Homo-oligomer: A and B are copies of this chain.
Amino acid sequence: MSLSYALLGILKMSPMSGYDLNKFFNDSINFFWSAQMSQIYRELKSLEEKGMLTVVEETGTKGPNKKVYSITELGIKQLEQWLRNVPDKIDEDNHNVFLLRVMLLGDLGAEALYEQIKIRLQKYKDDLNELYEVEKRIPYYLQQTGRLEQKPFLEITLKRGLSDVSAHIQWAEEALIELSKLIENKI
């Protein structure tokens, strides 16, 4: 399962709790990964049982106790194996509900589609701004974990997010123009 490797990979950078992992997902790599808290907790438990993680309970300064997880040698080995082993079947998760809507909405007329793409365009613009925020946080984050040599790789990852969102924005803007032409001609 890929969530387990996501957890192993992040914990390899720095030990943390399930709660922190969720924050990391939301604050940093939300543009390509997210998870439910309940799933994270369940998976952490399972990885610990398999000996890939160890856990230490930490009495925090505030809030209830934290369970801080660290990766083990076994965990590192398993993660590396997964990373090096390129799957021959490239299994991109290609269920795009929005595009399904776009295709089928045509049947209900151009106006309905126009409105929905307009809403989506705003979302893409928000996403773009969020990515800029993430970009700003990278140097700070790298310093904290002392992994400055990772900078180019994080930048490549982030650039993919930026490139995706920019393409989406351009597509949406062009689609809106197309649709407004259709709407005008129909009058």
How many copies make up the complex? Answer: 2
Question: Which single member of B12, B104, B110, B166 contacts A9 (CB below 8 Å)?
Answer: B104
Q: How far is the CA of A91 from the CA of B120 in the complex (A)?
A: 11
130-187 of chain A: CB within 8 A of chain B: 150, 152-157, 159-161, 163-164, 166-168, 170-171, 174-175, 178-179, 182
The reply to whether the CB of A6 lies closer than 8 angstroms to some CB of chain B is yes
Interface residues on A, range: 35 or more
CB pair A93 B90 closer than 8 Å = no
CB pair B171 A160 closer than 8 Å = yes
1-42 of chain A: CB within 8 A of chain B: 2, 5-6, 9, 12, 29-34
Known: A94-B34, A103-B29, A153-B105. A163 touches B171 (CB 8 A): yes
The 9 closest A-B pairs by CB, nearest first: A106-B153, A167-B167, A9-B104, A32-B96, A32-B99, A103-B157, A163-B171, A156-B175, A163-B167
